[in-house]
Amino acid sequence: MNGINKKILLLGSYLLLMMLMIGCSTLEPIFDFAIVEEIDIIILESFPVQVYLVASGYLPDPCTKIYQISREREDYHFSVSITTFRSPGACIQIIAPFEETIPLEVYGLPAGTYTVNVNGVQGTFSLEVDNILPI
């Protein structure tokens, strides 16, 4: 192989490498839902009652982080979503456990049984009396 062919091959390899690097740098971040394996509902012995949700599970790798926890309530049902964020790029493929304690807004709720859904895992808790301070 003569000198000109070597330079063309080297230049072509360099251009290919640059295109791959540019392509990798424009990858979008990854948003997903955390894998929740278990939830525990903790009712504090106070009045008005306070309720905390402990969600535990795993993330697909140590580069994935909890991004946002959102809570919604409709009537007697709480929906909690735990979303994750991961920057593009290589990461070791080993699961990473997590545990999040999430307060539920229960002040002013009437007595009754409530369901809680966290990324597909469900639980229930009951309020024995209306959860509001008397005037």
User: Which one is predicted more confidently, 66 or 25?
Assistant: 66
Per-residue pLDDT tens digits for 39-53: 999 999 999 999 999
Residue 23 in 3-state DSSP?
helix
Q: What is the mean pLDDT of the chain?
A: 88
User: Which one is predicted more confidently, 133 or 115?
Assistant: 115
In degrees, to the nearest 5, what angle opens at C-alpha 85 toward C-alphas 24 and 76?
A: 150
The percent of residues above 70 in pLDDT, for the chain, comes to 81
The C-alpha atoms of residue 1 and residue 70 are separated, in whole angstroms, by 63
Average pLDDT over residues 24-43: 88
The C-alpha atoms of residue 78 and residue 55 are separated, in whole angstroms, by 14
Which pLDDT score, from 0 to 100, does residue 15 have?
58
Average pLDDT over residues 71-91: 95
Q: pLDDT category, 134, cuts 50, 70, 90?
A: confident
